[in-house]
């Protein structure tokens, strides 16, 4: 009888100990951040980083990716730049630390997550790149964050919201956002932006093997080549003129396609 009672006590201790260890393991695992990828679209507040004067002075631009840990309350606990020009990293980290997110949840419970905030610093030629990104999004939907410069807060919020919507909704609403952006741009930036939109249309024509779309983009570029505003670089004027030469052709040869593609890719 004694031995039997002793064994029951040992068995009970083992069960309770195992349960305690299991609970501790679960508690430990629950603290490990869950990866969420790019989190720009999940932000409640996403302050824009300042554009360092040192970077502007030498024409530095481009994207900076900041790895962040976001706690259960949606607050950024840590931020580390993982890519991007060194001159742009410090201000990106500072902006990331000030960001605020709606708490991420798993099975109804707030969780800690890791993610990436992407900032796009737009230099003098940046509006062409933005135009191209938005033009591709208008045709195919938004596949990655589109970041606008400071001064375009409403438009940026619209992009962030549209990222959560279906492709059909995006395609229907993007023209309105594009119109709002155009209304705020000075002539030089507007030219670059529209050139980027036209390049996107032409490129999409190549990708989908749709010559009608290619010619539509080329005709838009031809219209831009007629009277570029002051501030558009000479080499861009020449590119627009070369591309406009293909706009009125009945059909494109293989050599034509090769020449066009090298300018719009």
Please check whether residue 11 lies inside any domain of the structure. Answer: no
Given 71, 102, 121, the domain boundary residue is 121
Q: What is the pTM of this model?
A: 0.57
Indicate if 55 and 149 belong to the same structural domain: no
**Cα dist. 184→3, 6, 145, 177, 220 in Å?**
87, 83, 21, 11, 20
Question: Do residue 40 and residue 153 come from a single domain?
Answer: no
Q: Which of 35, 31, 41 is nearest to 115 (CA)?
A: 35
In a domain, 3, yes or no: no
Claim to verify: residue 169 and residue 250 sit in the same structural domain:
yes
What are φ and ψ of residue 73, in 5° steps? -95, 0
Among 9-13, 36-40, 129-133, 191-195, the minimum mean pLDDT is found in: 9-13
**Co-location of 115 and 240 in the same domain:** no
> What average pLDDT does range 53-81 have in this prediction?
86
Q: Is 117 helix (H, G, I), strand (E, B) or coil?
A: strand
Same domain, 130 and 259: yes
pLDDT tens per residue across span 182-236: 999 989 889 999 999 999 999 999 999 999 999 999 999 999 999 999 888 888 8
Tell me: do 66 and 92 sit in the same domain. yes
The count of structural domains within the chain is: 2
Whether residue 250 lies inside any domain: the answer is yes
pLDDT digits (tens, 9 = 90+) for 15-35: 344 444 333 444 444 568 899
Q: Are residues 142 and 247 in the same domain?
A: yes
Q: Residue 191 belongs to what domain range?
A: 126-264
User: What's the whole-number mean pLDDT along residues 243-263?
Assistant: 93
Copy the structure tokens of residue 193: 């932006």
DSSP conformation letters of 217-252: HHHHHHHHHSSPPTT--HHHHHHHHHHHTTTT-SS-
Structural domain includes residue 130: yes
Domain membership flag for residue 59: yes
Q: 151-158: long-range contacts at Cβ-Cβ below 8 A with a sequence spacing of 24 or more?
A: 151/184, 152/181, 152/184, 154/180, 155/180, 155/181, 156/46
């Amino acid at each position: 009888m004694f031995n039997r009672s002793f064994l029951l006590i040992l068995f009970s201790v083992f069960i309770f100990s195992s349960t305690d260890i299991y609970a501790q393991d679960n508690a430990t695992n629950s603290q490990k951040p869950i990866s969420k990828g790019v989190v720009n679209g999940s932000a409640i507040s996403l302050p824009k980083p300042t554009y360092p004067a040192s970077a502007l002075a030498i024409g530095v631009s481009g994207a900076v990716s900041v790895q962040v840990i976001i706690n259960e309350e949606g607050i950024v606990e840590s931020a580390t730049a993982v890519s991007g020009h060194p001159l742009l990293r410090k201000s990106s980290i500072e902006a990331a630390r000030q960001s605020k997110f709606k708490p991420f949840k798993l099975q109804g419970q707030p969780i800690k997550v890791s993610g990436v905030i992407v900032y796009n610093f737009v230099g003098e030629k940046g509006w062409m790149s933005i135009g191209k990104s938005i033009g591709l999004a208008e045709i195919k939907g938004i596949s990655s964050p589109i970041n606008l410069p400071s001064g375009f807060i409403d438009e940026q919020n619209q992009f962030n919201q549209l990222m959560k919507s279906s492709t059909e909704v995006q395609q229907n609403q993007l023209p309105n956002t594009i119109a709002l952006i155009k209304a705020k741009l000075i002539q030089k930036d507007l030219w670059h932006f529209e050139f980027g939109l036209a390049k996107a249309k032409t490129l999409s024509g190549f990708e989908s093997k749709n010559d009608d779309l290619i010619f539509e983009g080329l005709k838009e570029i031809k219209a831009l080549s007629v009277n570029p505003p002051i501030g558009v670089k000479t080499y861009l004027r020449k590119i627009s003129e070369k591309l406009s030469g293909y706009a009125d052709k009945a059909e494109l040869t293989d050599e034509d396609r090769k020449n066009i593609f090298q300018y719009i890719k």
